[in-house]
Structure 1
Amino acid sequence: MTELRNPVIRGFAPDPSLVRVGDLYYLANSSFEWFPTIPIHRSRDLAHWEYAGHVEGAAPGGSLAGVPDSGGIWAPSLSWDGERFWVVYSIVRSVGTPYFDADTYVSTAPDVSGPWSPPRRVPSHGFDPALHHEEGRLWLLNLQNDHRPGGRRFAGIVATELDRETLTPVGTTHLLLQHDRLVEGPKLLKRNGWYVLVLAEGGTGFEHGVRVARSRNLTGPYELDERPLMTARDDPEWPLQKAGHAELVETPEGEWFLSHLAARPLKTPEGPRCPLGRETAIQAVTWDAEGWPRLRQGNARPTITVEVPDAEPPAFWGAGNCARSPHPPAPDNAPPYYTLRSPAAPSWTDPTSRPGRLRLRGHHGPDSLWSHHLLARRITEHHTEAQVTLQANPTTFTQSAGLLLWYNTAAYYALDLTWAEPEGEAQHGQQWQHTGRTVLALTTRDENETRRAAVQEVDADTPLTLGVTVHRAEAQFWYLTDGTRTPVGPALDFTRLSDDHGTRLRFTGAMAAIHAVDLVDASFTADFTDFRVICTSV
């Protein structure tokens, strides 16, 4: 047997959907407002995972411009019908409102690396859809959302049969289950004559869990298991919290396993916080004498170590938790970057004209929902260092470029090279009339407050190396002077960049990023070299 260690995909990797095809396992995750859309990993043994591609074209028109933070692509569900892969997902355009304004799409491909068919819209009752394939028939499962005043936003699980070719509804929609406790994320399988419905329960926070229901008929009625299949909500000290949003898979040998999301909280005076976001984990499952699934360990709490069948692991393209997952170099050796709301422009990472260099042209500011010129890598451990060497010549306060710790447009820390008035002179917005100075400015953004935490004058005639060290709850920015790290500003609270801080809904995870801003005419450019993010498990 091989021992896996959870989370198997670390850092921002929520809402896993797991399927086996032959002797390979495939797993898709939510991408929300980030590109590449719907990253997919593969494994031979459930313990070792490598990036296998993403659903290119999942966002119609190639853009998610304007979607709110933590909007965009929610909870994709991956499936295999014996001939091709299917993925169904919702694009959510309103977060924190009764409506969600979600559009549900289906795409197919012969392989997870593509090509994926153009997305086709299907009935959109809510979000967290899934597909069930049975004897040539196709069923769409979904959450039903009731937006009306006094309505239940999580008003039950519904199923609609779709024509496999046209994806149009066949017959009526069926209500499978309603429950007093919030249930969502339905996944359906058939075993021993039972239709087994696996549900996410209790929301996405520390009350999260997995509940199972079953029926002899696909359209119900469904009997709910009296106890949860998995949850950590009864033990706040348990190392894997928020355990939920699960899917069952059977191995070729007839063993069963469960993919699910989980989070590793840090203790803070304000309570537990999870800056790494929701991650992907695997648990072993058995079936009891009455036909209900149970975690192998005999209780409902997820474990960190799990024994899985031996298999030849795939050869990873790279090493290290930060680099390995989820986005490796593309066939042309492009770096594994995330981008916000649109794909990266080819010129950002063109290795032929500027070998080893990234050139970003400034555009909107970091609070924009429309056009970020930003490249990010996930933070996957509570001890992380990020650094980059930057060369730029800002001549106005409307131009800046630098290194960020990023959660979303309302929560980030930015160390930027920019322009400022001479020391002691007030901000007056007429920089073209006066001689100024080049500075490193440390900016903190925390929902409704943006604050300048430090300003340090620097010599920008030569390349400047910027960095940040994260150790658990603390983040310290610095820059190199004569090979020595010079701190910029105070240590900052890294846990503010988490799902659990603030008043707005948050569903992603912390990133390290580089960016460039030019609010006037997008003529300012910044060159970055040696952007690295090193994550260490301690």
Structure 2
Amino acid sequence: MITNPILPGFNPDPSICRAGPDYYIATSTFEWYPGVQIHHSTDLVNWRLVSRPLNRASQLDMRGNPDSCGIWAPCLSYADGLFWLVYTDVKRLDGNFKDAHNYIVTAPDIAGPWSDPVYVNSSGFDPSLFHDEDRRKWFLNMVWNHRTDSVGGNPKHPAFAGILAQEYDPAAGKLIGEPVNIFAGSSHGLVEGSHLFRRDGWYYLTVAEGGTGYDHAVTMARSRSLTGPYELHPDTFLMTSKDAPDAPLQRAGHGQMVETPDGQVYHTHLCSRPLPGIRRSPLGRETAIQKCVWGEDGWLRLAHGGLVPALEVDAPDANSRKLPVDPVRWEFSGDRLPEDFQWLRTPYPERIFSMTGSALRLHARESIGSWFEQALVARRQEHLAFRAETSVRFAPRNFQQTAGLVHYYNRSKFHYLAVTWHEELGRVLTILSCPGDWPHGKLEFPLAKPVALPADGRVELAMEVGGADLQFQWRVPGTDWQAVGPVLDASVISDEGGRGEHASFTGAFTGMAAFDTSGSAISADFDRFDYIPAQT
């Protein structure tokens, strides 16, 4: 069986393609660097991260991009001996404009090297590239209409003005002909995330609708002509959880179909797993996959029936087995950052961290939550209950210098256990929290009084997260762990915390952070990081 989600934690907008016996899924990364995650599988059951292709300044610079902007909805395809990746870099979220720029990069191998980007257009986001049987290529994206009152954190239908299609000339590296609005969407509205698939003389179009919250859906339509007109699926939707509030996979939508070599059909989709009794999803929008079948009427449907996605579906090969998930420790003893970790926005990571051979050294820069140069290195939270530990050497000289362990979503949603300096107590522990105060990002300080630390030496920091509860702990080497501060609300470190799921598109991360608002760029050395899941 395939157990969903197949890519746990923040992995939204899954675009899937097959190259021979190999399957690849590309997912959105928003403001996290490098851009786009690509996972590989040979059985649709087990997946491994194999590439983050947008990894240099000539491809991507997101400094200044607001929270939940950056890389939206990539589309990955394989044709003509190349992998093709199209994506949007969104520069603005709020108000009537999006400033969404679309690009294409290519590579002969999934591991790269990936080309510098070719600019395509800026008329809307969620692009895809369709390779037709006559070898012509078509570029699709939703078109954004700024002439609307659809602003803020609750998008309305008028801004989502349909799906554009235009021919793309790869030799010239540009669009040719005129764009055609091929599909206005269903009455459910908010049409985006389009993908084309050709079968038996039909062009099948799947789109995401209903917004990326709890009304999300995959809508399907078809036409004999690529440019339409398109008729809606008899059920309108291929899948949705919008009318099943108790289903374990919520917010189902935005995905793509793929055929196995023997003709079986699967369709990826994003989903979320809210905390029990709370409509908050710390793990963000995750990737799942459903088995589908073609009906006698020529329409695709879920193999298990209905519209609600399943936790378990049949794998292409009945002998496939899911590999276990084990606790992980990173010693930071190499010269490269382990692949599980990412940072924020900047294509110049040497400015915010380096590998010493025995530690990850953070070079403290701007404040936590900065949109420009923030020394924060973290990995995805993939379980609703887990423990994270780290060990830091840090000698602050003033209160503007901190380093420590963070549970992070964005500038208005985080909890941060930090080593810093106090004028009377010397080196101390403090907690900085921002429990969803958008747009101000005002801090709270849950510790009534900082905890005094030894004047020098390593300090070990930990967090225990169980559902909606977070408890920080600390110790010096050779002593027992002890709790520090009150139990904090971990549920706010979620899509729905703060301003809500229509404007928060990533997921919770756990990792290491440092800042130095004095401008001295003090360093902090972290010699290990442990991530220990309490459940799978």
What TM-score comes out, normalization by structure 1 length?
A: 0.91
Equivalent position to 1:399, from 398, 401, 423: 401
Cα 1:176–1:330 change in 2 (3 A) is farther
List structure 1 runs of 4+ shifted beyond 4 angstroms.
57-62, 311-316, 321-324, 329-333, 346-351
| Residues 1:253 and 2:267 aligned together | no
Alignment of 1:144-293 (within 5 A): 144-149=143-148, 152-179=158-185, 180=187, 181-227=189-235, 228-268=237-277, 271-293=278-300
Q: Tell me which amino acid in the other structure corresponds to 1:380.
A: E
Q: Kindly state the Cα deviation for residue 62 of structure 1 after the two structures are TM-superposed.
A: 4.2
Name the counterpart of 1:429: none
- Matches of 2:148 and 2:407, distance apart in 1: 39
Q: Kindly state the Cα deviation for residue 322 of structure 1 after the two structures are TM-superposed.
A: 7.4
Q: Kindly state the Cα deviation for residue 291 of structure 1 after the two structures are TM-superposed.
A: 0.7
- Matches of 2:224 and 2:107, distance apart in 1: 32
| Residues 1:470 and 2:479 aligned together | no
| Residues 1:384 and 2:391 aligned together | no
User: What do residues 363-411 of structure 1 show as CA deviations (whole Å, max 9, x unaligned)?
Assistant: 1011211001111011100111111111111110111100000001111
Q: Kindly state the Cα deviation for residue 441 of structure 1 after the two structures are TM-superposed.
A: 0.5
Cα 1:194–1:323 change in 2 (3 A) is farther
SS in 2 for 1:309: coil
User: What do residues 423-461 of structure 1 show as CA deviations (whole Å, max 9, x unaligned)?
Assistant: xxxxxxxxxxxxx52110011113233111112121142
Q: Kindly state the Cα deviation for residue 321 of structure 1 after the two structures are TM-superposed.
A: 6.5
Q: Tell me which amino acid in the other structure corresponds to 2:529.
A: F
- Matches of 2:97 and 2:535, distance apart in 1: 40
- Matches of 1:145 and 1:350, distance apart in 2: 40
Q: Kindly state the Cα deviation for residue 310 of structure 1 after the two structures are TM-superposed.
A: 2.1
Equivalent position to 2:131, from 126, 130, 133: 133
CA RMSD of superposed structures (Å) = 2.4
Q: Kindly state the Cα deviation for residue 308 of structure 1 after the two structures are TM-superposed.
A: 1.1
Question: Bigger CA drift: 360-369 or 447-456?
Answer: 447-456
Q: Tell me which amino acid in the other structure corresponds to 1:377.
A: R
User: What do residues 189-224 of structure 1 show as CA deviations (whole Å, max 9, x unaligned)?
Assistant: 100110000111111011111110000000000111
Q: Kindly state the Cα deviation for residue 149 of structure 1 after the two structures are TM-superposed.
A: 3.4
Q: Tell me which amino acid in the other structure corresponds to 1:156.
A: G
Percent of aligned pairs sharing the same letter: 39
- Matches of 1:355 and 1:168, distance apart in 2: 45
| Residues 1:340 and 2:349 aligned together | no
Q: Tell me which amino acid in the other structure corresponds to 2:290.
A: Q
Name the counterpart of 1:450: 443
Cα 1:385–1:274 change in 2 (3 A) is same
- Matches of 2:161 and 2:266, distance apart in 1: 29
Q: Tell me which amino acid in the other structure corresponds to 1:184.
A: E
| Residues 1:320 and 2:325 aligned together | yes
Cα 1:116–1:330 change in 2 (3 A) is farther
Name the counterpart of 1:431: none
Cα 1:62–1:194 change in 2 (3 A) is closer
Equivalent position to 1:501, from 493, 497, 500: 497
SS in 1 for 2:161: coil
- Matches of 2:96 and 2:35, distance apart in 1: 25
Q: Kindly state the Cα deviation for residue 89 of structure 1 after the two structures are TM-superposed.
A: 0.6
Q: Kindly state the Cα deviation for residue 360 of structure 1 after the two structures are TM-superposed.
A: 1.1
- Matches of 1:315 and 1:207, distance apart in 2: 30
Name the counterpart of 2:155: none
Cα 1:94–1:260 change in 2 (3 A) is same
Give the gaps of 5 or more residues in structure 1. 423-435
Cα 1:211–1:149 change in 2 (3 A) is closer
Q: Contact 2:413 / 2:498 at 8 angstroms: preserved in 1?
A: no
Q: Contact 1:347 / 1:359 at 8 angstroms: preserved in 2?
A: no
Q: Kindly state the Cα deviation for residue 177 of structure 1 after the two structures are TM-superposed.
A: 1.0
Cα 1:194–1:90 change in 2 (3 A) is same
Q: Tell me which amino acid in the other structure corresponds to 2:474.
A: Y
Cα 1:83–1:322 change in 2 (3 A) is farther
Question: Bigger CA drift: 161-170 or 133-142?
Answer: 161-170
Name the counterpart of 1:425: none
Q: Kindly state the Cα deviation for residue 501 of structure 1 after the two structures are TM-superposed.
A: 1.5
Q: Kindly state the Cα deviation for residue 4 of structure 1 after the two structures are TM-superposed.
A: 1.3
SS in 1 for 2:256: strand
Q: Kindly state the Cα deviation for residue 169 of structure 1 after the two structures are TM-superposed.
A: 2.1
